[in-house]
Amino acid sequence: MAINSSGESFNKVNFATPRSFATTFRSHAKETLFPDDPFKEFKNEKPLKKALQYFVPIFEWLPKYNLSLFRYDFLAGITITSLAIPQGISYAKLANVPPIIGLYSSFVPPLIYAIFGSSKHIAIGTVAAASLLIAAMIEEKVSYDDNPSLYVHLVFTATLFTGIFQSLLGIFRLGILVDFLSHSTIIGFMSGTAIIICLQQLKGIFGLTHFTTKTDLISVMHAVFSHRNEWRWESAVVGICFLAFLLFTRYLRKRNPRLFWVSAIAPMVTVIVGGVFAYFAHVEKHGIQIVGHLKKGLNPPSIQYLNFDSQYLPVTLKAGIISGILALAEGIAIGRSFAIMRNYQTDGNKEMIAFGFMNIVGSFTSCYLTTGPFSKSAVNFNAGCRTAMSNIVMAVCMMLTLLFLAPLFSYTPLVALSAIIMTAMFGLIEYEEAYRLFKVDKFDFCICMAAFFGVTFISMDVGLMMSVGLSVIRALLYVARPATCKLGNVPDSILFRDIEQYPGSNEIPGMLILQLGSPIYFANCAYIKERVWRWIREENGISNSKENVVEHLLLDFGGVTAIDIAGLETLQELKNSLDSNEIKVSIINPRIEVMEKMILSKFMERVGKESFFLSIEDAVEACRFSMHHEPKAMNGFSGNLEAP
């Protein structure tokens, strides 16, 4: 087979001029910010109508809505209302705001979400973790006991910031930020939060009147045991009865998933039974506290209470942003999960805008932070909801409750609420999932544990940040140490594969074939150069006979998706040091991005087109040819070459 020095008989490598900056920039921006190609719809007929439907999804599904769908949504809406009332009151206690605000928060936000949201299964409401987080952060600055109205106003302000932050993320299409809250982080954070929330409930169960505002395990246990004189056995007995009832309904659901509605209405039953019991038994006299006065009437406006005092701005901003990210992560994750199950698409950026709008409007109408909670959305899904109409049904039910029934709930014993919260929390401790992480990926497990122990022993925001920090370090390590491997020829084929993975593969005498990892850039280029030289040294060490010393280095670039200036310079340095050791280098199959940079930086010119090949087979063939036909000019060349 006749082969000339430019390797013309091989498959041709494409040396076309690089695309213009505008082209590559547009393609990068699109990949980064618009990976889902949202504008594809607008190229059809009726772009205006399409755009409206795109930005306000209710216009898409409402015209097609019909009575048979409404039957499902109505039932689902009723079911989630029965959960929304007890959860609303309970989580409001967790956030340290008056219970009625929890009920308000299930009226306005679901309406807004129904208009702008793209998920069909999310049920809107307050969430335990974010409620506690807001309370913990705002209590640092203002205590509810000292100045209740200021505290509540700051909570509204934080909710406004959450809303603004969430909608900005959506508008600037920065859904990418939420991607950095990994599954492992969320599992650890949720389990840790569940534990500290359960611990908080010891206050209600034991009927304590004094407690700590800190959330970590040690402070809470200290608060519980240092106030032993306040412990009330009556409260504890009632609490344990409710807990047993609720856990039994959970058990029922687990045994028979069709009985999910039993556990769904159990909290409502608890609240009603507890209220009736409290009313007739005059429990306050026995040290069992009740919710207390609940005002009739719809959400009063709260826009005039928003507090932008520079003294409180840092804490409201911080509380708004951190709880906003957390709420987004929960809402988007649950939305995505159900979308996958039912085979439709939710748009992360649109969801953010919907969540943002509902929190902005919420902060004007006496609501605090809402999102799509796991538990409520799961009940909604199981109850067979078909569209976001179930949220509207829930909102209407809540409106009726607020207008006529609210005072009835004022007799609810706090201990019943504690039992409801604890039961909800048990489901969030996912030890099985943590064990699976441990088995499949130790680093993921560490990220999970950082969140878990950070939350339980330090505080919620510190735990979250520790875990995200570890994830980012991991992401940086991925790119700082891309895996390279040595390839060999798989027997009876023309394939070249990793020798460690396919131990039967044959090395080719005199050649070293390496597959490079991706990307090659400033943070790893020094590593890559040193690693390549180590491969060469090891190769020469293994085969000490003069015959097998490396004469050709073949670098497979097929997997390298990106390279930067530092990477190109490193390749040049590598080439220079290889030249001075009489090793020839071949570049195999660089991808389009890499090739363009190689041409622009003149690296390709300096190396020479004849060293570029489209496949490993071609390169091996060319190297074999040059080894047999070229006069050996390496007289003094020994196996102990000194690496640079």
For residue 188, which of 517, 564, 471 has the smallest C-alpha distance? 471
Is there binding between residue 642 and a second copy (CB under 8 A)?
A: yes
Kindly state the smallest distance separating residue 136's Cβ from a second copy, in Å.
26
Q: Is 81 exposed, middle or buried (0-12, 13-18, 19+ CB in 10 A)?
A: buried
- Told to check if 531 binds a second copy by CB under 8 A, we report yes
- Which residue lies nearer to a second copy by CB, 174 or 396? 174
Q: Closest CB to a second copy among 38 and 287?
A: 38
Cβ 71 to a second copy shortest distance, Å? 24
**If residue 113 lies in a helix (H) or strand (E), which one and from where to where?**
helix 108-116
Q: 506 or 561: whose CB is closer to a second copy?
A: 561
Nearest-CA neighbor of 271 among 432, 502, 47, 84? 84
Of the CA atoms within 13 Å of residue 275, those in its CB half-sphere come to 18
Pick out residues in 157-176 that bind a second copy (CB under 8 A). Answer: 175-176
Out of 90, 382, 418, 589, which residue is the one contacting a second copy (CB under 8 A)? 589
3-state secondary structure of 575: helix
Considering the complex, state which of residue 153 and residue 173 has its C-beta at the smaller distance from a second copy: 173
Q: Interface mask (CB under 8 A) for a second copy, residues 333-362, using x and -?
A: ---x--xx--xxx--x--------------
Of 115, 566, 607, 627, which lies in the binding site for a second copy, with binding defined by CB under 8 A? 566
Least distance (Å) between residue 422 CB and a second copy: 29
Per CB under 8 A, contacts with a second copy among 234-253 are none
- Largest Cα separation within the chain, whole Å, is 107
**Nearest-angstrom CA–CA distance, 430 and 190:** 8
CB of 108 to a second copy, least distance (A): 30
Could you tell me the CA-to-CA distances from 469 to 136, 446, 464 in Å, in that order?
A: 21, 12, 8
Which residue number, 256 or 561, has a Cβ lying nearer to a second copy? 561
Per-residue burial over 471-499, b if 16 or more Cβ lie within 10 Å, else e, is beeeeeeebeebebbbbbbeeeeeebbeb
User: b/e per residue, 386-421, with b = 16+ CB within 10 A?
Assistant: bbbbbbbbbbbbbbebbeeebeebbbbbbbbbbbbb
Which C-beta is closer to a second copy: that of 478 or that of 625? 478
The yes or no reply on residue 490 touching a second copy (CB under 8 A) is yes
Give, as ranges, the residues between 412 and 451 that touch a second copy (CB under 8 A). 436-437, 439-444
- Give me 372's structure tokens: 């799509």
631: which DSSP letter?
P
Residue (19 or 318) nearer to a second copy, CB: 19
Q: Pick out residues in 532-561 that bind a second copy (CB under 8 A).
A: 534, 537, 558-561
Least Å distance, CB 69 to a second copy, is 17
Region from 87-95, 374-382, 527-535, 543-551 binding a second copy, contact rule CB under 8 A: 527-535
Is residue 634 part of the contact set for a second copy (CB under 8 A)? no
**Whole-angstrom Cα distance, residue 54 to residue 70?**
23
Beta-carbon count within 10 A of 188 CB: 32
Nearest distance from C-beta of residue 618 to a second copy, angstroms: 9
Residue of the chain from 140, 577, 621, 637 that contacts a second copy (CB under 8 A): 577
Which of 8, 41, 145, 179 is close enough to bind a second copy by CB under 8 A?
A: 179
477 contributes a contact to a second copy by CB under 8 A: yes
For a second copy, the closer CB: 214 or 474: 474
For residues 465 and 474, give the distance between their C-alpha atoms in angstroms, rounded to a whole number: 14
268 and 332 in contact (C-beta within 8 Å)?
Answer: no
Are 250 and 423 in contact, with CB atoms under 8 Å apart?
yes
Q: Is 472 in the site for a second copy (CB under 8 A)?
A: yes
Least distance in angstroms from the C-beta of 349 to a second copy: 11
Residues 505-524 that bind a second copy (CB under 8 A): 517-519, 521-524
Q: Checking phi first, is residue 631 left (phi over 0); if not, alpha (psi -120 to 50) or beta?
A: beta
Which residue from 57, 50, 41, 134 is spatially nearest to 351, judged by alpha carbons? Answer: 57
605 touches a second copy (CB under 8 A): no
- The CB-of-60 to a second copy minimum distance in angstroms stands at 13
C-beta closer to a second copy: residue 38 or 148: 38
Q: Which range in 124-132, 219-227, 295-303, 567-575 contacts a second copy by CB under 8 A? A: 567-575
Number of neighbours of residue 548 by Cβ within 10 angstroms: 17
DSSP characters for 291-333? ------SSPPP-GGG----TTTHHHHHHHHHHHHHHHHHHHHH
Q: Which of 56, 78, 321, 495 binds a second copy (CB under 8 A)?
A: 495
Asked if residue 262 binds a second copy (CB under 8 A), the reply is no
Measured CA to CA, the distance from residue 19 to residue 211 in angstroms comes to 66
Q: 318-344 burial by CB neighbour count: b if 16+ within 10 A, else e?
A: bbbbbbbbbbbbbbbbbbebbbeeeee
Residue with tokens 């078909």: 386
Q: Residue 273 interacts with a second copy (CB under 8 A)?
A: no
Site string for a second copy, 7-26 (x = CB under 8 A): ----x--x------x---x-
Among 47, 145, 576, 608, contact with a second copy (rule: CB under 8 A): 576
d(CA 617, CA 608): 19
Give whichever of 261 and 478 is closer to a second copy, judged by the CB atom.
478
Binding residues among 28-67 for a second copy as defined by CB under 8 A: 28, 31-32, 35-37, 40
**Which of 321/479 has CB closer to a second copy?**
479
Q: Interface with a second copy by CB under 8 A: which range of 59-67, 158-166, 288-296, 477-485?
A: 477-485
**601 lines the binding site for a second copy (CB under 8 A):** yes
519 preceded by a cis bond (ω within 30 of 0):
yes
Report the nearest approach of a second copy to the CB of residue 498 (Å).
6
- Looking at residue 332, its amino acid is I
How far is residue 23's CA from residue 514's CA, in Å, rounded to a whole number? Answer: 32
For a second copy, the closer of residues 548 and 577 by Cβ is 577
Q: What angle do CA 38, 59, 47 make, to 5 degrees?
A: 45
Residues from 181 through 210 that contact a second copy (CB under 8 A) = 182-184
Candidates 226-234, 291-299, 403-411, 481-489; binding stretch for a second copy (CB under 8 A): 481-489
* Between 252 and 566, CB nearer to a second copy: 566
Report the run of H or E that residue 553 belongs to, with start and end: strand 552-556
